[in-house]
A and B are shown apart, each in its own frame.
Chain A
Amino acid sequence: MTEKNLVTAIHDTLHDEMAADDRVVLIGQDVGARGGVFKVSEGFMAEFGEQRVIDAPLAESGIVGVAIGMALHGLLPVAEIEFADFIHPAFDQILSEASRMRYRTNGDWGCPMVIRAPCGGGIHGALYHSQSIEAFYAHIPGVKVVMPSTPADAAGLLHTAIADPDPVLFLEHKKCYRLIKGDVPDVPQPTPIGQADVKREGTDLTVVSYGYELHRCLDAAARLEQDEGIHAEVVDVRSLAPLDTETILVSVRKTARAMVVYEDNRTYGAGAEIAATIAERAMFDLDAPIVRIGGPDIPAMPFAGALEHYYMEPEPDHILVAMRDLAHF
């Protein structure tokens, strides 16, 4: 085990995957000499060469489209979208091409590829460097969407994503990059896609979350336990598609109280799917209505400190307060 922050865990895992298999190639903007704007590929070009670490022109649809072609001809491309906010020109390539290559050929062709995209806010990124994009893509049959929140999960999920025979959108929350540290196994431990993880056990309520919000939930849960004796169980979704409904439902049936916390705009966000799943399948196990906390429905997120703070925390300690209210319902 070695303690690392999240971005270092991603860098090291990607490095080891490239060293282990020369089918793995990286394509994206500034991934070469610059080593990526977040330094995920720092040193790669010198070590693996320009052929495997490809500085792409400014064309996101082209990057994903070319990666699809590579995947169709025996490579295992990892496409980097510099910021998730700029992935939208590639939406058609992901929706109409990568996601349904297997389905539309009745299983003849497949697209083993990973698209990495740094997402999320709270980092003074304003409207176009802060967005949560997971809901758009988790809605598409044929794409897997993951968002690890700890360095160990980032390493394990990236390892699994590269080995996966289908396209995986690998979302990295920028605020977690350097803030979140943790032990990472020195030998890669694959983290299965489609498996949630109980990050904190508890008996009084279930909090389902992912990304940076997960850490705020964990923090609130720790304070509530210490100060008020409320034991919250915190489930890290990790994989938005496919969603591990079983782990969520087992927890909810145990605690009889459910809350979903996500940073994305509240309406039609991933939390809506999770809340609907709980309502459909655990309604009679619940002692209280499901609580859903999402970001406000404004274009995420304004630049000025006070405005950005409003997006992330509209009321003081709003997550902790909601958890307390739910526990006492």
Chain B
Amino acid sequence: MSAQVTETAHGSLGLGVDDLLAMHRTMLTARLIDEAALRQNRMGRAPFVVPVSGHEGCQIGTAWPMRPGIDIWVPYYRDLGVVLVAGMTPEQIFLGLFSKASDPTSGGRQMPSHWSSRGLGIVSHSSPISTQVPHAAGIAYAMKYRNEDGVVASWFGEGATSEGDWHEGLNIASIHRLPVVFICENNEYAISVPQSKQMAVADVASRAEGYGIPGFVVDGNDVLACFRVMKEAHDRARAGEGPTLIECKTYRFLPHTSDDDDKSYRSREEVEERRHHDPIERFATYLVDGGITDRAALQTVHDEVKTQVESAIKAAWDAPDPDPATATRHVFAEDDP
């Protein structure tokens, strides 16, 4: 059972003007951090960047119904937008990018964009693809066992759905009807491998049927459509109705990482065409056309965010590096200071 979600009007979604403007600002923050991070990379100050541009609609849309402090976030490396909604600040993002001692994700131990913050309920993930999916099921099991009201959400790419751990996690979560939402950010490529070589089906969401759970395809560039399908999945999870698989069809505008050359596997025409479906511009148009804001106000937001990002970079760059003497710490709990 997989269904198409199209409706976008915010009126029926319970979102106020403040929500809409905050969503837009968060999308823009992700985009401007992305662009600034790549500039830092070219300046030789950031060895490794994972771009998000193009994914902001599906990330902010699916992250928005989550309740910080109650729900648990199990993201993957592309989820800059998700962790911003969870409460990470631009300065913290850049502390990670520059692998500083106070990087909240790992104190400079992991590559950038390997998110984590226990305080924010963001679960640490590694580089091996899909290993976080069974963790999401286990956390949801613990929530259900402890009669908590929480929901777990796990994000991943469409390439990730080929891994055994992905299947094992969804299967166990579905057997126990756990409060977890699985969100696929389908950008058509796993590095260079196109979807046609990743799977024989058109929609990842159609796999939901094999687990006996609902699956939905949603336009990932439509932030409100993503919000709606996630809100319903989140409600179902809280009501004890088990997991949902959401597939957001989207596109990555930039190379896979700062080390990738995407010209080798996709044409410039293709990328240019997909930029016409930019989720941020689309949402801005919706806000302006609906009389919620105007272009001048959006420009002000843009300038504010840009200033915020610039001061975050400055503060993070000036922060101290990790002390080499700490490299052997935290292998076991007894090593903790």
Contact = CB atoms under 8 A, between A and B. Distances in A.
Interface of A: 25, 51-52, 56-57, 59, 61-62, 64-75, 77, 89, 92-93, 96-97, 100-110, 141-142, 144, 165-166
A69 B137 contact: yes
The interface centre, meaning the residue of A66, A96, A166 with most chain B CB atoms within 10 A of its CB, is A66
Q: Size range of the interface on B?
A: 35 or more
Contacts of A61: 134, 164-165, 168
B114 interface: yes
B134 A69 contact: yes
A68 B138 contact: yes
Contact of B126 (A62, A71, A96, A110): A96
Contacts, number: 138
B124 A104 contact: yes
A97 B126 CA distance: 7
A271 B329 CA distance: 27
A66 B138 contact: yes
A141 B329 CA distance: 11
A110 B333 CA distance: 8
B131 A93 contact: yes
B118 A108 contact: yes
B171 A62 contact: yes
A12 B74 CA distance: 36
B145 A68 contact: no
Contacts of A89: 164
Contacts of B134: 61-62, 64-66, 68-69, 93
5 contacts: A66-B134, A68-B134, A73-B72, A77-B138, A165-B332
Nearest to A100: B126
Interface of B: 72, 104-107, 109-110, 114, 116-118, 123-124, 126-128, 131, 133-143, 145-146, 164-165, 168-169, 171-172, 175, 329-333, 336
Contacts of A66: 134-135, 137-138, 141, 169, 172
A107 B329 CA distance: 8
Given A62-B172, A66-B169, A102 B133 contact: no
Given A65-B133, A65-B168, A69-B136, A107 B330 contact: yes
Given A74-B146, A104-B110, A104-B126, A59 B171 contact: yes
A93 B169 CA distance: 12
Contacts of B165: 61-62, 65, 92-93
A62 B169 contact: yes
Contact of A102 (B110, B138, B172, B333): B333
Contacts of A100: 126
A6 B109 CA distance: 42
B151 to A, nearest CB: 12
A322 to B, nearest CB: 35
B106 A73 contact: no
Contacts of A165: 332-333
A65 B145 CA distance: 17
Nearest to A22: B145
A259 B123 CA distance: 46
A102 B139 contact: no
Nearest to B109: A104
Contacts of A67: 138
Residue from the set B105, B107, B109, B331 with the largest chain A CB neighbour count within 10 Å: B331
A104 B135 contact: no
Contact of A51 (B118, B127, B145): B145
